[in-house]
């Protein structure tokens, strides 16, 4: 019996159509905000509404907080903040959601920046009582620099807060983005009755269910029914939303993608109010996976052979197996478990035998993934943050820069007999990007200098060294507060300068450290030919507080 033979060209067309169709179903976004605005709580609520968890992990704020799926480290549970980014994948309305939760403290801004390199959109949470804080503004700017469309969610509307129109004015004046409301709060902050769904022209009334651990009870009403039941509260909401619509852009996806406007939604993530509307907005309007530029600025089509880049490396997620997971954003093609890809940095081959889909700390084996997806490659000790991977056609995606460190401490093992564990732990944490490690012949390997963007990074290092590597350690603070890129020639010059030192970073760069800006200026004045360059474009000062 004869069989139809598919030509190579036709097979290529079929494969390309499959990839393009799957990429169009992906929504990959980060949840970002000022600490304590409710990022992890919203992450839980979104997963709850997609019916991939049974109950949310946050109830009545942090004083009664249960473990959340995205905060799995012990320090995160103890402090109630996100210290490490987390990835979750689930389906909703035939759409694949790749949600990346980000750290909740300014000291981990490097991790947030890496996540923003891997997403196509950002959901920005704004605390209804605090508005756009300095930290929030820094995040807006980072998203703008990366060309990421921003969906703005005014959260915690169940608590007393600012006036709706005042919040809209603040967004316009301080970000330059025009508010384009998709939902509008019915009831002032602290009296959250529901939202006016402007797209469907209906009132969505919420009722708390089990203190927010379960999906809120929801009822839908026509505008006429809402006016009859809510009276002036409904009328005020309609009038306010109308003013914003008349003063700004009507909602337009192209204006959203172009960074001219930001969709506005109101919610209380802790009570699961307004969360379904956020999910629907992501499915309906957030950009799908699209071609991504390489280092030369050339776009790699999503239907090209497989490519991706590592945006995060994490060890210790499974204590029983001492695993080491590299998180890869798929940029093009089909990822197939077992495929052998090339690592652009080294040119070496890498077998993807152990590939997993990640849901917080939980994982399961995955056989294939498509553009926009996040794949966890287990036992990927050779991969580093920023590495590009490809099949067939070579590609290198832009590197993820290191921030300029501003805090420096010498690390020493408390127990000399555990030096091997100490060194292995320091190497591992540097590999993950938890800390920058600096060394010199003068200081030796037993006393590396740890360089951090923020001081809480040292606490994470100390905690993980003690509990994961069984290598208790102690710190000795150094007086430096500034770092500049330099060359090996600076070692002799700065070795004679009080308040300065040159150390070698593990990526091969020499860093000149200075006590303060005055020490730096003295060196620059006395040594005008000395090479001293600012480290990249980012620092904690530039990203202060987020």
* H, E, C per residue of 179-192: EEECEEEECCCCCC
- Distance between CA atoms of residues 125 and 37, nearest Å: 6
Highest mean pLDDT among 142-146, 214-218, 337-341, 356-360: 337-341
Residue 52: pLDDT band (50, 70, 90) is confident
Q: Which range scores top for mean pLDDT: 55-59, 287-291, 505-509? A: 287-291
Alpha-carbon gap, residue 189 to 129, rounded angstroms? 8
108/91 Cα distance (integer angstroms): 29
Instruction: Please give the distance of CA 216 from its chain centroid, rounded to a whole number.
Output: 27
Q: Is 104 annotated as a binding residue?
A: yes
The terminus-to-terminus CA distance of the chain in angstroms comes to 67
Other beta carbons within 10 angstroms of residue 144's beta carbon come to 14
CA angle 301, 304, 310 (to 5 degrees): 85
Question: How many Cβ atoms are within 10 Å of 489's Cβ, its own excluded?
Answer: 13
3-class secondary structure, 502: strand
Q: What's the pLDDT score for residue 108?
A: 63
Question: What mean pLDDT comes out for the span 422-441?
Answer: 91
Is 103 annotated as ligand-binding? yes
190 is in an annotated binding site: no
pLDDT band at 57 (very low <50, low <70, confident <90, very high): low
Q: How far apart are CA 236 and CA 238, in angstroms?
A: 6
Tokens 């798929």 correspond to 330
Rounded percentage of the chain residues whose pLDDT exceeds 70? 88
CA torsion through residues 361, 364, 365, 366, sign? negative
Question: Of 31-45, 188-202, 462-476, which range is least confident?
Answer: 31-45
What pLDDT shows up at residue 73?
47
Longest dimension (CA), the chain: 88
Binned at pLDDT 50, 70 and 90, residue 76 comes out as: very low
> Per mean pLDDT, which range of 170-184, 361-375, 467-481, 501-515 is the poorest?
361-375
164-168: long-range contacts (C-beta < 8 A, 24 or more apart)?
A: 164/188, 164/189, 164/240, 165/240, 165/243, 165/244, 166/131, 167/126, 167/128, 167/131, 168/244, 168/248, 168/264
pLDDT at 99: 92
Segment 203-208 mean pLDDT: 94
The whole-angstrom separation of Cα 181 and Cα 239 is 13
Query: Which residue bears the tokens 């980060």?
Result: 30
Residue 191 has pLDDT above 90, yes or no: yes
Tell me the average pLDDT across 425-444: 90
Q: How far is residue 236's CA from residue 521's CA, in Å, rounded to a whole number?
A: 58
How does 447-477 read in b/e, with b if 16+ C-beta sit within 10 Å? ebbbbbbbebbbbbbbebbeebbebebeeee
Q: Which of 243, 244, 205 is nearest to 225 (CA)?
A: 205
Identify whether the C-beta of residue 516 lies closer than 8 Å to the C-beta of residue 499: yes
Contacts of residue 449, Cβ cutoff 8 Å, sequence gap at least 6: 408, 409, 410, 411, 437, 438, 439, 440, 443, 478, 503
CA-CA distance, 448 to 439, in Å (whole number)? 5
Report pLDDT for 138. Answer: 75
Whether the full predicted model's pTM is greater than 0.75, yes or no, is yes
Mean pLDDT of all residues in 278-298: 96
Q: Token pair for residue 544? A: 């202060």
Cα 138 to Cα 262: distance, rounded to the nearest angstrom: 16
Predicted pLDDT of residue 249: 79
The single residue listed with the structure tokens 């209380």 is 268
Q: What is the arithmetic mean of pLDDT over 192-204?
A: 96
Phi, psi torsion values for 220, nearest 5 degrees = -120, 140
The token duo for 334 is 């089909």
The whole-number average pLDDT for the span 219-232 is 96
Degrees (nearest 5) of the Cα angle 98, 101, 102? 135
Under DSSP, the state recorded for 63 is G
pLDDT at 334 over 90: yes
pLDDT of amino acid 314: 83
Q: How far apart, in Å, are the Cα atoms of 389 and each of 285, 315, 349, 398? A: 29, 20, 9, 12
Better-scored residue on pLDDT, 271 or 539: 271
Other CB atoms within 10 A of residue 217 CB: 12
SS3 call for 232: helix
For residue 442, pLDDT over 90 is answered with no
* More confident of the two residues 329 and 317: 329
- Please, which residues bridge with residue 449 across strands? 410, 438
In this prediction, residue 357 carries a pLDDT of 79
The answer to whether the CB of 112 falls within 8 A of the CB of 102 is yes
CA distance 29 to 139: 14
Tokens 């169940």, located at residue: 158
Of these ranges, 86-100, 206-220, 335-349, 353-367, the one predicted with the greatest mean pLDDT is 335-349
For residue 212, the 8-state DSSP code is G
pLDDT digits (tens, 9 = 90+) for 493-503: 999 999 999 99
CA quadruple 380, 363, 457, 175: dihedral sign: positive
Q: What is the pLDDT confidence band of residue 63, given thresholds at 50, 70 and 90?
A: very low
The pLDDT of 51-78, averaged and rounded, is 49
pLDDT confidence tier of residue 56, bands split at 50, 70 and 90: low
Q: Are 369 and 23 in contact (CB under 8 A)?
A: no
Instruction: Give the integer Cα–Cα distance in Å for 157 and 161.
Output: 7
Radius of gyration of the chain (CA): 25
> What domains sit in the chain, N to C, each tagged with a CATH number?
105-285 (3.40.50.300), 292-390 (3.40.50.300), 407-526 (3.30.70.3280)
Is a pLDDT exceeding 80 seen at residue 94?
A: yes
Q: Residue 250's pLDDT is what?
A: 82
pLDDT at position 153 is 97
Q: How confident is the model at residue 80 (pLDDT cuts 50, 70, 90)?
A: very low
Under the banding of pLDDT at 50, 70 and 90, the label for residue 66 is: very low
**What's the chain's average pLDDT?**
87
Can you give the pLDDT at residue 542?
Answer: 37
């Amino acid at each position: 019996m004869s069989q139809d033979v598919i030509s190579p060209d036709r097979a290529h067309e079929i494969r390309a159509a499959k990839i393009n169709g799957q990429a169009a179903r992906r929504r990959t976004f980060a949840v970002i905000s000022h600490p304590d605005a409710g990022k992890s709580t919203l992450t839980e609520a979104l997963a709850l509404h997609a019916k991939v968890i049974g109950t949310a992990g946050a109830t009545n704020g942090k004083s009664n907080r249960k473990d959340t799926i995205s905060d799995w480290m012990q320090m995160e549970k103890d402090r109630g903040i996100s210290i490490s980014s987390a990835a979750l994948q689930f389906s909703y309305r035939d759409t694949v959601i790749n949600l990346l939760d980000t750290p909740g403290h300014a000291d981990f801004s490097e991790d947030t920046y890496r996540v923003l390199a891997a997403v196509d959109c950002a959901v920005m949470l704004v605390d209804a009582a605090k508005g756009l804080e300095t930290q929030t503004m820094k995040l807006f700017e980072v998203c703008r620099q990366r060309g990421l469309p921003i969906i703005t969610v005014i959260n915690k509307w169940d608590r007393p807060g600012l006036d709706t129109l005042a919040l809209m004015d603040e967004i316009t004046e301080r970000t330059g983005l025009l508010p384009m409301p998709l939902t509008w709060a019915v009831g002032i902050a602290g009296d959250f009755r529901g939202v006016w769904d402007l797209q469907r022209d209906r009132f969505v009334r919420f009722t708390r269910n089990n203190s927010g651990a379960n999906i809120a009870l929801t009822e839908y009403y026509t505008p006429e029914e809402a006016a009859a039941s809510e009276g002036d509260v409904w009328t005020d909401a309609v009038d306010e939303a109308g003013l914003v619509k008349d003063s700004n852009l009507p909602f337009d996806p192209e204006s959203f993608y172009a960074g001219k406007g930001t969709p506005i939604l109101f919610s209380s993530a802790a009570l699961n109010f307004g969360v379904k509307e956020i999910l629907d907005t992501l499915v309906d309007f957030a950009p799908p996976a699209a071609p991504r530029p390489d280092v030369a600025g050339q776009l790699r089509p999503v239907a090209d052979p497989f490519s991706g880049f590592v945006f995060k490396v994490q060890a210790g997620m499974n204590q029983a197996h001492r695993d080491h997971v590299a998180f890869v954003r798929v940029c093009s093609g089909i990822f197939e478990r077992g495929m052998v890809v090339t690592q652009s940095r080294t040119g070496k081959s890498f077998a993807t035998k152990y590939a997993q889909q990640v849901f917080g700390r939980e994982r399961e084996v995955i056989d294939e993934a498509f553009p926009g997806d996040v794949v966890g490659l287990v036992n990927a000790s050779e991969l580093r943050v920023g590495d590009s991977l490809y099949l067939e056609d070579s590609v290198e995606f832009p590197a993820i820069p290191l921030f300029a460190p501003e805090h420096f401490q010498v690390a020493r093992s408390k127990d000399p007999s555990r030096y091997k564990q100490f060194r292995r732990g320091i190497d591992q944490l540097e590999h993950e990007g938890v800390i920058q490690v600096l060394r010199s012949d003068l200081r030796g390997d037993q006393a590396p200098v740890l360089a951090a963007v923020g001081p809480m990074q040292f606490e994470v290092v100390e905690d993980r060294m003690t509990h994961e590597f069984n290598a208790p350690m102690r710190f000795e603070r150094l007086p430096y507060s500034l770092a500049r890129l330099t060359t090996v020639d600076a070692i002799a010059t700065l070795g004679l300068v009080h308040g300065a030192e040159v150390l070698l970073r593990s990526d091969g760069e020499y860093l000149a450290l200075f006590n303060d800006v005055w020490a730096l200026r003295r060196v620059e004045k006395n040594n005008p030919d000395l090479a001293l360059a600012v480290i990249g474009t980012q620092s904690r000062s530039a990203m202060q507080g987020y």
